[in-house]
Amino acid sequence: MEFYRSFDIVAARTIVSIEDSLDNFLLQADFPRHSLIARAENGSGQIYKGINTLEELQTSLNTLAKESNKFIIESDLRAHHSPSRRRNIAQVAKILFTRISNLCSKCQTPGWGPVGNLYGLSCIECENFEERAVSGKILGCACCEYKEEVFNDKKFVEPAECGVCNP
């Protein structure tokens, strides 16, 4: 169970007509470093993917204008067209490499690592028990059923995280 979450992926979307300016959208979409997809808003017809030049964009919009007066233009999130997604994929690959480098202490199979979380911490102010607060993690084997619990250094929640102190 490995994942990597990031808000650094460039993902933009707009609905426009042929006469609308795309300047602000193209900046937001980090075009042409990140490619685009264009299609008719009504869902009919061709979908143009991997657009990474102004000429390709204009050609696809002119073709789409024959079937619709509104277009959806959005980031092409396929990794080979999205450098920001590639960076995120590289990060999760490092995490996976680390995971398969760790052996289970019981059966010596590669893949030892996090399989779940431990929950429950008390509020430092009112002592209310917050069941959803993460108190540690469960490490487990990819092959056998062996698991270990490892608690965080965090022993309580702040009042800002408490459902009683901060409803």
DSSP 3-state assignment of 110? strand
End-to-end CA distance of the chain: give it in Å, rounded.
32
According to the model, what pLDDT value does residue 1 have?
A: 64
CB count in 10 Å sphere of residue 60: 21
Q: Tell if the pTM clears 0.75, that is, is over it.
A: no
Residues 116 and 69 in one domain: no
CB half-sphere exposure, 51, CA atoms < 13 A: 22
The parent domain of residue 78 ranges over: 13-82
* Residue 5 maps to a domain: no
According to the model, what pLDDT value does residue 42 have?
A: 84
* Residue 93 maps to a domain: no
According to the model, what pLDDT value does residue 81 have?
A: 97
The DSSP secondary-structure symbol of 161 reads G
* Residue 166 maps to a domain: no
Residues 23 and 67 in one domain: yes
**Contact status, residue 40 vs residue 67, Cβ threshold 8 Å:** yes
Which of 53, 82, 111 finishes a domain?
A: 82
Q: Cα separations (Å) of 86 from 12, 28, 79, 100?
A: 17, 18, 6, 21
pLDDT per residue, tens digit, the chain (167 aa), is 677 888 889 999 999 998 899 999 999 999 999 999 999 988 778 999 999 999 999 999 999 988 888 999 999 999 999 999 999 999 999 999 999 999 999 999 999 999 999 999 999 999 999 999 999 999 999 899 999 999 999 999 999 999 899 87
The DSSP secondary-structure symbol of 117 reads E
According to the model, what pLDDT value does residue 57 have?
A: 96
According to the model, what pLDDT value does residue 142 have?
A: 85
According to the model, what pLDDT value does residue 141 have?
A: 93
Burial 139-160 (b: 16+ CB within 10 A, else e): bbbbeeeeeeeeeeeeeebeee
* Residue 19 maps to a domain: yes
- Provide the number of structural domains found in the chain: 2
Residues 69 and 108 in one domain: no
Q: How far apart are CA 61 and CA 58, in angstroms?
A: 5
